[in-house]
Structure 1
Amino acid sequence: MSTRSTLPERAGTVVVGAGCVGCSAAYHLAELGRDDVVVIDRGSLFETGGSTSHAPGLVFQTGGNKLMSKMASYTRDLYDGFGDFRTCGGIEVAYTEDRWEFLKRKREWGRSYGLEGGELLSPAAVEERVPQANADATLGGYYLPSDGKADAVSAAASMAERARDAGVEFYGNAEVTDIDTEGGRVRAVDTERGRIEADEVLLATNIWGPLFGEMVGTDVPLVPCAHQYLVSDELDALAGAEREIEQPLLRHQDYSLYFRQHGERYGVGSYNHAPLLVDPEDIYGPERLDDLGLEYPSLREFTAEHFYENTHADHDRAAYDAASELVPAFEDAEWTSQINGMFSFTPDGMPILGPDEGTEGLWWALAIWVTQSGGAGSIVAEWMAGGVPRLDGERVDATGAHVSRFQPHAGSREYTSGRGAQQYRELYQLVHPREQPRDQRELRRSPFYDRQAELEAEFYDGDGWETPQWYETNEALLDEYDVPDRPDWLARNWSKAQGVEHQHLREKVGMVDMTTFTPIEIEGPGTESFLQGLLTNDIDVTPGRMRYSAMLNGDGGVLADLTVARFDDDRYTLFTGGGSSATLHSRWITEHAPADGSVDVTVHDSSRTGIGVFGPEARNVLADLVEADLSNDAFPFYSATETYLGSIPVTMLRLSYAGELGWEIYTPTEYGARLWDAIADAGEAYDIAPVGWAALDSTSMEKGFRLWGTDVTPEYDPYEANIGFAVDLDTDFIGKDALLDARDDGVDERVVPITLDEPGVVVDAGHPVLVDGDVVAYACRADYGYSIDRGIAYAYLPSEYTDAGQSVEIEYEGERHGATVRSGPLFDAERERMLG
């Protein structure tokens, strides 16, 4: 603790929150050369009273996505280096056949993300490592030997000690009363002990995050939620357990339980109860803790009914009963400690990281557990110091945790509480990746929604949008098309209608709801100059033409791939995806727009709707509807025009994400219903069918088109993503210097299409790609190609394995499937159909 009794009057950076996340950020800022950092907390250092103080410290590294796994792995190594981590291994047990198959897949995710040594255990092998576990209560387990326990408070102190050596100052018992902002930027932090002026402020306050959001006018989509943790008295099975080698951590996810050893005692954590949401304003202050017998503000009184009675909507027994079945010794045990401890949940279960959108110099690092705390601190510190999120100095795709991924409705208490409760309830549940949320639905509906519902559309939630994935009415066409069956897990939340729609679009014509695609209109005398400095391609094209381009960060990582249409000398429209991609991309564009007023940026995230008409009959369907000449000479591929479809003003783009002849047609939203009816009526003569996004995705994979967020992300540059053709080095743009360095160094890996050798075989994304038995990559995107009758995967392979014809294997649920690297596109390589 600092020896100063008063706070400094000024600092370059103030970090609010001295838990393991705030201390990690301060430590990493110091490692990057920052010595003007001050860390403050309302509590004592470093047992501050927040979630760090009571966290059980479990570090299971295999997460549900690459970012979470990488942050966990980094945290493990960082804390181990400080001596604040005990490697004991971690076991997740299976109670059902479904969970056992899931653990096979989870082990493969670990292999994909570089976690070595994972193995599947028999029930007897689980009991051998955890003697008090009942072998008869499991089907086996997934064991990762490098998992273990982090001492969160000690880790925070260790990071602080090293940060202090570099000049960082730490102050406890300094509760923040306000964040002072003026003129759109942060100015100071006001505390009960004084005011600290600052150039930037990082809020690492976890469960108190929404209260800080109120101070600065930012909605923070986060809800605190209490879960239970109990520690038994001494168990006979752990007698004499003061040995160097501790038992592995244990998770019983089918009943939302976890376990860890405390010497001769055994702890059990439970999410097996109804969500216990807490309003941040109701978190107890020090004046009530003594009265309630609580040690920290982040604790609630233990509620026995949530442990001994079943209150979880998806379970059939109480936490105590399930825990005692797996650990029979609990039946005779007494509890020496029982708490309800708070963590926080966001609507999608991911952290909140990055710079505030409305206040310059204000940063967030929230909803992060001990498991990822060290890695999150590394990412946000790199971001603050260098303008780009990195993990341990390397490019990382942090978009899934970006503070600006949320849509406007996510700021409401109803939405945040509803989805936060769902995230709590499903934390350990076996949730299919295509399973859709039930709560907070139908928030954003296209003008076609009622028509699509009549066609039995299967709607997926896309950041509030109801987006059709397929139409069950199209299953009536199964007699005309061959669609392979899928095995149990892969067949869930899937329909053969996808394969029907894919092939029908290829053979005839389909209409696709493009409402979620977002036009970003940019106009003004400085538009061309601005876009030339923002985008990788030369966008100085004649009005009426389009260019495909990337948008990069300073490290050369791909922030977006965009279609850029020029309509006048000083008016362009950029087309990007919907939901979080539109939010993130439009923010980057507006923040980099010149401040001199020479450019106006209008984001049509809801004010435009669209339909794609794709397939060999697309021209015939549209020819008599629109005023524009649709011939190749008058309306060539990759051109755009503003015209009329009947009485409807429309913007038409000659392109097709399906790789077929086609147009995307956009109009103001109020014209949308009429647009659908006009196209559907005209299409009847050509057997037009509604087509969902599942089929559009599989057709695009056959054509080798990138999908931002899967096979193109900020983790890779355009050369690695095989979109180097969209880079013009004769122009100057953000990220160019990094690309020049990458070009000179050579491309070490790049994305390639891989086809499964056996027809009918399909795998999911996230599974390992092997050469001679060694993991060399993982499938970042996968589906079935119904036109080529092969399963398809895309993977970033080391350059020595990217030649067409290279034999590889893809591991899925313990089986290895033969596969072959291909050169793309896999379908219509000469683009004859698109250019037709």
Structure 2
Amino acid sequence: MSTGNTIPDTAGTVIVGAGCVGCSAAYHLTRLGREDVVVVDQGPLFETGGSTSHAPGLVFQTSSSKLMTRLAAYTRDLYSELGDFRTSGGIEVASTDDRWQYLKRKLEWGRAYGLEGGELLSPDAVADRVPQVNEETILGGYYQPTDGKAHAVDASATMAKRARDSGASFHGETTVTDLEVADGSIEAVVTDRGRIEADEVLVATNIWGPLFGDMVGVDVPLVPCAHQYLVTDELPELDGASREIEQPVLRHQDASLYFRQHGERYGIGSYNHEPLLVDPADIYGPEQLEDLGLEYPSLREFTAAHFHENTHPDHERTAAEAAGELVPSIRDAEFESGINGMFCFTPDGNPILGPTEEIDGLWWALAIWVTQSGGAGSVIAHWMEDGIPRLDGDRVDASGAHISRFQPHAGSREYTWGRGAQQYQEVYQLIHPREQPQGQRGLRRSPFYDRQAELGAEFYDSGGWEVPQWYASNETLLEEYDVPDRPDWLDLGWSKAQGVEHQAVRDRVAMVDMTTYTGIEVTGNGATDLLQGLLTNDVDVSLGRIRYAAMCNEDGGILADVTVARFADDRYVLFTGGGNSATLHSRWIRERAPDDGSVSITVHDSSRCGIGVFGPEARTVLEPLVEADLSNDAFPFYTARETSLGSIPVTMLRLSYAGELGWELYAPTEYGAQLWETIEDAGEEHGIVPMGWAALESTSLEKGFRLWGSDITPEYNPYEAGIGFAVDLETDFVGKEALMRARESGLEREIAPITLDEPGALVDCGHPVIDPDDGAVLGPVERAGYGYTIDSGIAYAYLPPAYAEAGRDVEIEYENERYPATVRDEPLFDPDREKMLR
């Protein structure tokens, strides 16, 4: 393919970036029928100078994230089919007990998410596959036989050839100087070789992404970061190697190192140094590269001190020392080459995918490693062509990678660089799912924050909000409530106060900070028609009623589950989760609202605070405080009222995510401090306790209430998720046709509640549910916790219908043990809803 061919004046789709992500997107778009695709890159095709050009290409598929594992597995299969993947197997070794336990969990994530053949190896078995490893320094390894090395540049060229055969064109040495926008839509890509009018533009430039955001005034929260890669001279142990890679690729995560064979040489990648962040504006141009003798713009000068002298903040030994301990022959080896190669991190470590809300037709596919590149191209191509993110046509949950997940503060340099540096430091570290970031905290605080801190709240970061998980003040109630111990890993970042709060809300009363719950207010004479067309349930109800509904995409995948309160003929408020999810949900509604002025949408993400008052004594506490009649007849379950609590205007919803009698109360933020004080003072004589979100989650799990982003996601439809009761097929809504087809064809999977048979036993998410007879994996645990009222460990999983029947015996694999478990009917607690309706 010539880099000098004339670029066209117009195109249906322009892709900026001809690395493996851009080429994958082009390949998949042409497979979906697009012909008018133009790909441009500032570098030569296809060794364009980005991370595709220098990346070692190691593909370790297994991740705690189902999305990232699926993307990696698809990439591996795609590049193998293209002939650009070397299956060598991959081994991750452990040199500490904690890492060894982690590898047991990692093996199970792989099994749960569809990777076959993984096994745990003894130290001798690791050395059998990688003879230069000193087996005395490790406890063992996790081996995945389908891992290997992607030939990223070759894969890019192969995908480009196939895309070109279907009508796409590729143009190297073409620098984009501007993106033109008119009337809120992308209009053209301006290059140093001409202007291309375009209907859609996909930016797949990775480390240069923020510069393109600057062109159009869009925040792109990622920061380039360099890490080191060195290649030794020939090693005696590799003498006579006839292929580039014969041994498994290797990870030594305890030392932030990875290794791969280069024929008779050995490559070492190191994250064992301080974060080396780079401003995108400071990426070297051609003249600087020539002066410094660097081959690609994505390279920086090799800093030998970071390998031989300095260490990662969490390590005691240098990279050279740690590498030499695992592979002793490296100690005396000379190094043929060394680079500081750039890639990039976002504040949460996930990719950036999807369309720009502010600019129609502008798309992004950034912060993607070679490991997930092929899969990311499939997802973004389906998204652009079909309006839905799919992986090879299948439903996938890409919400964690959606560009709109970021909150306003993520656009700041301080936040992006601070969290980006932390993501770099943690990339190979043993990070517990509940471990919280230390920097960039306290950005968003409810009006109750100071009082919660006095009560010993353990705050978690959620979209910048400080959200209490439990309160140390409740530990004094351990004399009253029994809370079982948790083992090792599951005990980290947890307090028995959660179990106390769970039980206290069941037999007295608790107050929960619900400020992060977001109210999306939809008003106007077109409000009813809009919501009827977006939500699965009929919301044309009498005033004051609440409806539970799902919001689906065209595939029937669940985008959100919401409670909808109708306050007037033309006024509704949808209540959904806070932070990132609320941003995505409100965007979906705004984008589908008519532009004729018949609908107004207001997102109350900061202007309101909220408190849930739940438990048998909730009515007793609130009745003297509020003007509304709280009796069952006057204020029945699933209704809403606008009233006053003392002098505070409040919106009250008669519902309870804890599964108890209760109300949620929302007020303007400036009234929040007094709202908390008034409820706390009134509840004191009734034993009211502050309750964190950890207990709210475990009580809701026990009750069978769903949690979006956990046991319901766009990967599942409402019938699979057990919320078909919230689907009214007499109305017309997005996704209805897909749901009708699903119902008619029969479900291939259904959500099922599972309890562990062993008293006190507990497992975690992402582990496989298996058939006890033949060991076949039935599906991953999507949500897990402990039910302190039923005194049992609980797991929710999507199982084949034959296994989802109550009474069925299954097992759950956790840390190399199998736990007997039983499928149950739901809800596990209060099946007749007597507690909520009293």
TM-score, with length taken from structure 2 = 0.99
- 2:64–2:766: 8 Å Cα contact kept in structure 1? no
Where does residue 89 of structure 1 map in the other structure? Answer: 89
Residue from 802, 805, 808 that aligns with 1:806: 808
Counterpart position of 2:605: 605
Query: 1:689 offset after TM fit, Å?
Result: 0.2
**Is contact 1:202–1:362 with CA below 8 Å preserved after alignment?**
yes
CA contact (8 A) 2:126 2:135 kept: yes
Bigger Cα displacement from structure 2, 2-11 vs 33-42 = 2-11
Q: Give the conservation status (yes or no) of the 8 Å contact 1:521–1:602.
A: yes
2:798 to 796, 799, 803: 796
Q: Identify which of 785, 788, 796 aligns with 1:786.
A: 788
Pairwise CA distance, 1:599: 0.4
Aligned to 2:60: 60
Q: Please, what is the CA RMSD of the aligned residues?
A: 0.7
Which AA in structure 1 matches 2:798? Y
Residues in 1 aligned to 2:405 and 2:650: alpha-carbon distance in whole angstroms: 29
Residue in 1 aligned with 2:170? 170
AA aligned to 2:429 is Q
CA distance in 2, matches of 1:96, 1:308: 23
Residue aligning to 1:411: 411
Name the structure 1 match of 2:269.
269
In 1, Cα distance between the equivalents of 2:829 and 2:691?
19
Q: Is 1:49 aligned to residue 49 of structure 2? A: yes
The runs of 5 or more residues in structure 2 that have no matched partner are none
The 3 A distance-change label for structure 1 pair 610 and 656 is same
CA drift of 1:758 comes to: 1.2
**Native 8 Å contact 2:244 2:262 kept in 1:** no
What is the correspondence of 1:676-691 to structure 2 with a 5 Å cutoff? 676-691=676-691
Q: What secondary structure, in the 3-state scheme, does the structure 1 residue paired with 2:525 have?
A: coil
Q: 2:93, 2:755 → 1: CA distance?
A: 33
* 1:546-565 map, 5 Å: 546-565=546-565
1:109 is matched with 109
Tell me if the contact between 1:206 and 1:344 (Cα under 8 Å) persists in the aligned partners. yes
Conserved in 2, the CA contact under 8 Å of 1:642 and 1:652?
A: yes
The 1-side partners of 2:266 and 2:280 are apart by 31
2:283 maps to which residue? Answer: 283
Question: 1 CA distance for matches of 2:805 and 2:375?
Answer: 35
Instruction: Give the match for residue 195 of structure 2.
Output: 195
Structure 1: 4+ residue segments shifted above 4 A: none
Instruction: Tell me the equivalent position of 1:751.
Output: 751
- 8 Å Cα contact 2:86-2:245 kept in structure 1: no
CA deviations 1:134-180 (Å, max 9, x no partner) are 10111100000000000100000000000000000000010000000
The code of the aligned residue for 1:371 comes to T
Q: Is the CA contact 1:2–1:169 (under 8 Å) kept in the aligned structure 2?
A: no
State yes or no: 1:635 paired with 2:635: yes
Shift of 1:5: 3.1
Contact 1:310/1:316 (8 A) holds in 2:
no
Deviations 1:199-246 (A, max 9, x none): 000000000000000001101000000000000000000001115971
- Counterpart contact for 2:245–2:262, Cα < 8 Å: no
**What is aligned with 1:818?**
820
> AA paired with 2:835?
R
Residue 737 (str. 1) matches residue 742 (str. 2) = no
CA offsets 1:666-712 (integer angstroms, 9 cap, x no match): 00101000000000000001000000000000000111000000000
Aligned AA for 2:261? Q
Match of 1:100 in 2: 100
SS at match of 1:566: strand
Does residue 426 of structure 1 match 2:393? no
Cα drift, residue 805 of structure 1:
0.1
Match of 2:383 in 1: 383
State the AA in 2 paired with 1:530: L
Q: Separation in 2 of the partners of 1:366 and 1:310? A: 30
SS in 1 for 2:835: coil
Aligned twin of 1:21: 21
Q: Deviations over 1:387-431 (max 9, x none)?
A: 000001100000010010000000100000000000000000000
- In the other structure, the counterpart of 2:247 is 247
Match of 1:522 in 2: 522
- Read off the aligned partner of 1:12 and give its amino acid letter: G
What is the CA-CA distance between 1:608 and the residue it aligns to? 0.6
- In the alignment, what sits opposite 1:451? 451
For 2:276 and 2:106, the matched residues in 1 are separated by 29
Letter in 1 for 2:833: R
For 1:613 and 1:117, the matched residues in 2 are separated by 50
> Conserved in 1, the CA contact under 8 Å of 2:3 and 2:171?
no
Deviation at residue 331 of structure 1 after TM alignment: 1.1
Which digits, 9 at most, give the CA deviation of each residue in 1:776-824, with x for residues without a partner? 1111000000000000000000011111000000000001000000010
| Displacement of 1:64 | 2.1
Distance 1:2 1:406 in 2: 39
Deviation at 1:4, TM superposition (A): 6.2
Instruction: Name the structure 2 match of 1:623.
Output: 623
**Residues 1:312 and 2:335 are matched in the alignment:** no
Where 1:416 maps in the other structure, the secondary structure is: helix
Structure 1 CA distance for aligned equivalents of residues 819 and 3 of structure 2: 63
Match of 2:141 in 1: 141
In structure 1, how many angstroms separate the alpha carbons of the residues matched to 2:322 and 2:631? 68
Within a 5 Å distance, the mapping from 1:204-215 to structure 2 comes to 204-215=204-215
Label 1:503 to 1:117 Cα distance change in 2 as closer, same or farther (>3 A): same
CA deviations over 1:95-154 (Å, ceiling 9, x no partner): 100000000000000000000000000111111100111101111000000000001000
For 1:475-514, list aligned pairs within 5 A.
475-514=475-514
Look up the SS of the partner of 1:110 in the other structure: helix
2:196 alignment partner AA: I
CA distance, structure 2, for counterparts of residue 530 and residue 20 of structure 1: 40
1:533 maps to 533
Cα displacement string for residues 15-67 of structure 1 (whole angstroms, at most 9, x for unaligned residues):
00000000000000000000000000000000000110000000000012100
Q: How far off is 1:312 after superposition?
A: 1.2
Q: Give the residue type in structure 2 aligned to 1:412.
A: S
Match of 1:181 in 2: 181
Hey, what does 2:34 align to over in structure 1?
Answer: 34
Secondary structure of the structure 1 residue equivalent to 2:132: coil
Question: What secondary structure, in the 3-state scheme, does the structure 1 residue paired with 2:479 have?
Answer: coil
Q: Which residue of structure 2 aligns with residue 365 of structure 1? A: 365
Offset from partner CA, 1:509-547 (integer Å, 9 cap, x none): 000000000000011011111110110000011011100
Contact 2:3-2:45 within 8 A present in 1 as well: no
Shift of 1:265: 0.2
* TM-score normalised according to structure 1 size: 1.00
- Map 1:337-376 to 2 at 5 A: 337-376=337-376
**Structure 1 counterpart of 2:663:** 663
Question: 2:469 is aligned with what amino acid?
Answer: Q
Distance 1:295 1:216 in 2: 30
d(CA) in 1 for partners of 2:592 and 2:583?
Answer: 14
Pairwise CA distance, 1:3: 7.5
Report how far residue 189 of structure 1 moved.
0.1
1:828 corresponding residue in structure 2: 830
**Is the 2:244–2:261 contact (alpha carbons within 8 Å) kept by the matching residues of 1?**
no
Q: Distance in 1 between matches of 2:309 and 2:167?
A: 52
Q: Which amino acid aligns with 2:163?
A: A
Tell whether the 8 Å contact from 2:768 to 2:812 is kept in structure 1 after alignment. Answer: yes
Could you say what secondary structure the match of 1:332 adopts? coil
CA contact (8 A) 1:24 1:156 kept: yes
Structure 1 residue runs of 5 or longer lacking an equivalent are: none
In 1, the alpha carbon distance for the partners of 2:751 and 2:650 equals 36
The code of the aligned residue for 2:768 comes to: P
Aligned residue for 1:478, secondary structure, equals helix
Query: 2:320, 2:221 → 1: CA distance?
Result: 32
Change (3 A) 1:243 1:287: closer
**Within 2, Cα distance between the matches of 1:4 and 1:121?**
52
Work out the number of aligned pairs and report it. 836
**Distance across 2 between alignment mates of 1:244 and 1:505:** 62
